[in-house]
Amino acid sequence: DQQVKQNSPSLSVQEGRISILNCDYTNSMFDYFLWYKKYPAEGPTFLISISSIKDKNEDGRFTVFLNKSAKHLSLHIVPSQPGDSAVYFCAARDNTNAGKSTFGDGTTLTVKP
């Protein structure tokens, strides 16, 4: 049973527009959520996170929204740039379970010039 799901394997967006990447989770014990970005032939790099006590966290062009009642989070990138083209992983952490992170399958974002 997959506890963290990214239902869209891919997303294509025009440069300058908004990119919205979605993530759903099932485990109500998750209390911390992270987004990572991964370029081909590199390891993932941390992008932005949010604690379950918040509903929004912003860092420059990147904003993460958390809807706890719906067990849903989203990553907004505005404006999107070609350099944002990468695989984006959503991860959720359960601090009652030794702080292990559970990752989604990833969404491949392509930003077209």
Q: Is the Cβ of residue 79 or residue 108 nearer to other proteins in the bound state?
A: 108
* Binding residues vs other proteins (CB under 8 A): 4, 6, 9, 32, 34, 36, 41-46, 49, 89, 91, 93, 95, 98-106
Shorter beta-carbon distance to other proteins: residue 43 or 60: 43
How far apart are CB 49 and other proteins at their closest, in Å?
6
Task: Select 54 or 100, whichever has its Cβ closest to other proteins.
Answer: 100
Nearest in space to 32 (alpha carbons), one of 89, 95, 113, 81: 95
Give the nearest distance from C-beta 45 to other proteins in angstroms. 7
Tokens, residue 16: 């300058």
Task: Identify the burial level of 76 via C-beta atoms within 10 angstroms of its C-beta, where 0-12 means exposed, 13-18 middle and 19 or more buried.
Answer: middle
Assess contact for 101 and 91: CB atoms under 8 A: yes
CA separation for the pair 72, 1 (Å, rounded): 17
Cβ 20 to other proteins shortest distance, Å = 19
Complex with other proteins: residue 46 or 82, whichever CB lies closer: 46
To other proteins, the closest distance from the beta carbon of 85 in angstroms equals 18
Nearest to 34 by CA among 17, 15, 57: 57
